[in-house]
Amino acid sequence: MKIEKTPFADLLLITPTVFEDVRGYFFEPFNEARFRVETGLNISFVQDNESKSSKGILRGMHFQVPPKSQAKLIRVTKGAVLDVVVDLRRTQPTFGQYFMVEINETNKLQLFIPEGFAHGFYVLEEDTIFSYKCSNYYAKECDSVLRWDDPSVNIPWPTRDAMLSEKDQQGKALDEFKTIFF
């Protein structure tokens, strides 16, 4: 596995080692011991989630607030997404900035998202399957949504006419959130 640091503290892009031959391919999407050694992070994942979406769907920008905040390890098993995170950690120089990367079934990239980030994605292909591990269980009372089109963050989504859930349409602007993450 290859670990790439991003300009955001602890936000990591992971490229797995893939073994391919005439039969197809094999790779290990996650190995806790290797993850800890390679990243230096001591994270335990307690919940796996998966979603299937049609092209043009936008999901996000989701996060959970303390004490139930979550780190995530995300990947796409089928299709493709434009994956986006926004740093909500006020003490970081990257606070309020976004990071964007295409993740798809061909490049097999994974993104480790530490606690303190809002996360979302725009679906680029039909029947895309998105999978992720969480370091904490889902807690409705700690669930929150950053506005996907917040002008202060200015994410360059492929469209401004994305299909969103009702929950995602009601996200708050960055300046509406009190200090959540440090």
- How much is the mean pLDDT over the chain? 95
pTM attached to this predicted model: 0.95
Check residue 16 and give its pLDDT: 93
- Within 13 Å of residue 116, how many CA atoms lie on the same side as its CB? 19
Q: Please pick, among 119, 132, 137, 138, the residue that the annotation labels catalytic.
A: 132
Q: Which of 133, 137, 168, 163 is nearest to 61 (CA)?
A: 168
> pLDDT digits over 45-63, tens only?
999 999 999 999 999 999 9
Q: Please pick, among 62, 98, 119, 122, the residue that the annotation labels catalytic.
A: 62
Active site residue 119: no
Check residue 177 and give its pLDDT: 85
Check residue 179 and give its pLDDT: 65
Helices (H) and strands (E) in the chain, counts: 2, 13
pLDDT band at 42 (very low <50, low <70, confident <90, very high): very high
Mean pLDDT within 30-53: 95
Annotated domain spans of the chain: 2-176
Architecture of domain 2-176: Sandwich (2.60)
Active site residue 132: yes
